[in-house]
A and B are shown apart, each in its own frame.
Chain A
Amino acid sequence: MTATSVTPRSSNGFWAEFLRHPVPVAAAIAVVAIILLAVFAPLIAPQDPYDLASLVLRDARRAPGYIGQGGYIHILGTDSQGRDLFSAILYGLRISLQMGLLAGAIAFTIGALVGSAAAYVGGRFEALVMRLVDLQLSFPAILLAFVVAALLGQGKSQLIVALVFSQYAYFVRTAHGAAAAERNKDYVEAALSVPMSGWFVVTRHILPNALPPLIVVATVQVASAISLEATLSFLGVGLPPTEPSLGMLISTGFQYLLSGRYWISIYPGVALIILILAINIVGDQVRDQLNPRLKK
């Protein structure tokens, strides 16, 4: 009879439900494992791929399983400079995750605040913000990111700006929708009738209640930020060669793909696919659980 809403705060029910689904659980484990691998890359990787002194050109373009000058097995082979690919992938994951999470977090914050403020204030401000967002969403994200990245030049912070710029609109729109639904609820009116200030009502009442759909969008957007970054790096407008992300590894290996040295390009690609797929599966499950309409 009584409607009990599933919120992340009633965490017992949420995790119990999550653990009942094997595929998302496996994906979650994969995400955690990848994050751990990336964080502890310096400890795990047999070689520091940035340390040019440790690279031996004689080891270049060796197939997986080759034992090089360092005396250890290159389990995923080496690239054109004799870099151990496994190490390069671990370090690449580090940068990719960093970019994705940072850009996602910044876009999330901007989007949540702007979207819920627009829903709360209403009128001209809401109309202006939402039309701007509509306009932006009518261009493909990759196009926007490409243009901004090309204008700003190479570099980590430049790339983050480009990623945030191409992604914040999704958050604004989601936050606006969720906040607009909360805006007319009794508890918001109750707070306004006290009276509480608008800023307080938006940040303490509306935003926390509008959070579930934003969390779902966040998981999807982090995954897409990672793939955007990889795409930009592949196209050469992303990170400088001193910060080899997965996209750049794929790009450098690309020229050897047809000459039979598939591993230079394929293995970073596989790592990227696993990461994005895992994040998306977890995100889908979270969405299913937070959306009461999809409940059976």
Chain B
Amino acid sequence: MTAPLLEVTDLHTHFEARAGTVKSVDGISFHLERGEVLGLVGESGSGKSITGFSLIGLIDRPGRIVQGSIKLEGRELVDLSEGDLRKIRGREISMVFQDPMMTLNPVLTVLDQMTMALRAHERLSDAEARTRCVEALRQVRIVDPEQKVDFYPHQFSGGMRQRVAIAIALLHKPKVVIADEPTTALDVSVQAEILVEVKALVAELGISMIWISHDLATVASISKRIAVMKSGKIVETGPAADVLRAPTHPYTQLLLDALPSRAKPGQLLGAQAGENEAFQANDVKGASEPYPEFVTVKGAVKRFEWKSGFWGRIGERLGIVKPRKAVLAVNDVSLSIARGEALGLVGESGSGKSTLGRMVCGIYRPSEGEIRLAGAPVMLDSQQGRKLTTKVQMIFQDPFASLDPRRTIGQSIAEGPIAHGLTTRADARSYVAKWLEAVSLDPAVADRYPHQFSGGQRQRVAIARALAMRPEVIVCDEPVASLDVSIQAQILNLLLTLRKELGLTLLFISHDLSVVRHLCDRVVVMYRGKIVEEGTTEDIFRTPQDAYTRMLLEAIPRLV
């Protein structure tokens, strides 16, 4: 008998919206063998998550499985009643979600949550439940499971929380585990650990798994066979190595071309690659007279202190309340950026890289030390520290949050230049149009509101807003981290082009080493508020000196 464990044929999941039917999953077929890990890759909106939800029967109104069949060991799941589905969920098919902070209940201990999951399908005593939970935690290699089982979710780190979520998913030894972007919210080094762990579990327990992700590299590192989804359809499926080496569908090719790790540093990515020759020819243009210490950061320290109020101070005096410790986000950092240089600032979450970026941009005032641009301080050195210069601007990570939802993008772009005399209210329209064109947006969109744009377009607007202030330095705080790969490639191309054309100096903050390698001349690695290594991009990537840098580099999942 070679009937596959899970067989999906011609599955359609539609959502009835007021504007019409959205075909989130539009006729997909695939199968999953016993003990196999199937990678499901696609960009946002491709229907990969909805596929996962369809399998486990968690499609809420107005969504509905319109046609098709899902067979688990030959048993049809599509038309099962809610009660029957509940018997299957968790026991035969279980799910691991993206953000463990959202899926674990913050007010229950891990033990309580796991016991609830156990009792959904089994009757067992408290003592039995405890042993089972401890065992399950030990299985996902949580140290000291006997104690940790009584912890609340917030007492675990992000990676540990995701291990707990995996342990819960494995409680009933399900036949199929669906993992929906399980490592996306984690740091690279933690992601690497989880990937190793999951591989070991798959080998050990013979779990069958569907691994949903937008990241080709992680999928390639965990699954033997992958399926690529686009607008509700599977466009290509096959062994991971084959699909990545010789993709047959143009969309897969496009996804691969968009990866900075596969391109030569400094070149345009993806479809625009043909223009590369012309692009490199006018290389010289941006070079104005050299200024090696254009931006200087000297001994910068940022402490976030908790000022105790009146009652807090009395409490501290009496010894009832402990004074809260100051958080040292940036600890004595010095660096300099030459004019026209792109400096990459790399580190994991909590390394202080964003805080440093915000100090360079004049949003935070350093607690100690000073930051200068072309010899002049960026901020007034007083308690109310006002920003003095408009020559440093910032591009934020989340283009959904960094644009005021109640102002048109034209208003958002024009407000700074008008306030600082770069344009007049009367000329604002043409001024805005000019910068919208610079980021390849139609100037006619100036009257629209941010919610009418996609993520990539919004990030272009954010770039136009920063450029409209005619800055010399731009601080980019993870500008592509929240974007799809193909959009990420477009934005990176835009930054590369603009940098050359306008001779911009960049401080590029990122956790993604391949992006930094692609864009930056020099790299600074931060760990716990300090710089651990600094050097040219080539040197850092070829011969990293510091142990932490080496660990970061090794943690990058690789294609093939």
Q: A-side interface residues toward B, CB under 8 Å? A: 1, 3-5, 7, 9-10, 16, 127, 185-187, 189-197, 200, 204-205, 208-209
Q: Is the CB of A5 within 8 A of B405?
A: yes
Asked whether A193 lies within 8 Å of B362 as measured between CB atoms, the reply is yes
Within the complex, what minimum Cβ distance (angstroms) separates A153 from chain B? 40
- The answer to whether B405 and A209 touch across the interface, beta carbons within 8 angstroms, is yes
**Interface: B539 (CB within 8 A):** no
Q: A194, B363: Cβ atoms under 8 Å?
A: no
Interface locus among B104-112, B151-159, B183-191, B414-422: B414-422
Contact of A193 among B18, B394, B406 (CB under 8 A): B394
Of all chain B residues, which has the CB nearest A187?
Answer: B404
Q: Answer whether residue B435 sits at the interface, using C-beta atoms and an 8 A cutoff.
A: no
**In angstroms, how far is the closest chain A Cβ from the Cβ of B19?**
11
The residue in chain A whose Cβ has the minimal distance to the Cβ of B398 is A186
Which residues in B have their C-beta under 8 angstroms from that of A192?
Answer: 363, 387
Q: Are B415 and A204 in touch, CB under 8 angstroms?
A: yes
Q: Pick the contact of B45 from A1, A195, A209 — CB < 8 Å? A: A1
Partner of A9, one of B386, B406, B465: B406
Identity of the chain B residue whose Cβ is nearest the Cβ of A127 in the assembled complex:
B309
A193 near B387 with CB under 8 A, answer yes
Is B401 interfacial (CB 8 A cutoff)? yes
Residue in A9, A186, A200 whose beta carbon sits within 8 Å of that of B449 in the complex: A9
Q: List 29 A-B contacts (CB under 8 A).
A: A1-B45, A4-B451, A5-B405, A5-B451, A7-B406, A186-B396, A186-B397, A186-B398, A186-B401, A187-B401, A187-B402, A187-B403, A189-B358, A189-B402, A190-B465, A192-B387, A193-B387, A193-B392, A193-B393, A194-B390, A194-B416, A195-B387, A196-B416, A204-B404, A205-B404, A205-B407, A208-B407, A209-B404, A209-B406
Give the chain A neighbours of B394 by CB distance below 8 A.
190, 193
Contact A197 B419 (CB under 8 A): yes
| A residues in contact with B405, CB < 8 Å | 5, 7, 187, 209
Instruction: Identify which of B362, B397, B404 contacts A195 (C-beta below 8 A).
Output: B362
Q: Are B361 and A191 in contact (CB under 8 A)?
A: no
Distance in angstroms between the alpha carbons of A197 and B420 in the assembled complex: 10
Given the known interface contacts A5-B405, A186-B401, A189-B363, the answer about A194 and B451 at a Cβ–Cβ threshold of 8 Å is: no
Q: List the B residue with the shortest CB-CB distance to A205.
A: B404
User: Does B308 belong to the interface (CB within 8 Å)?
Assistant: no
Which residues from chain A contact B386 at a C-beta distance below 8 Å? 195
Chain B stretch 418-439: residues in CB contact (< 8 A) with chain A: 419-420
Contacts of A209 in B (CB 8 A): 404-406
Cα separation A197 to B45 with both chains bound (whole Å): 39
Q: Assess whether B44 is in contact with A1, with CB atoms less than 8 Å apart.
A: yes
Tell me the complex Cα distance, A258–B202, Å.
85
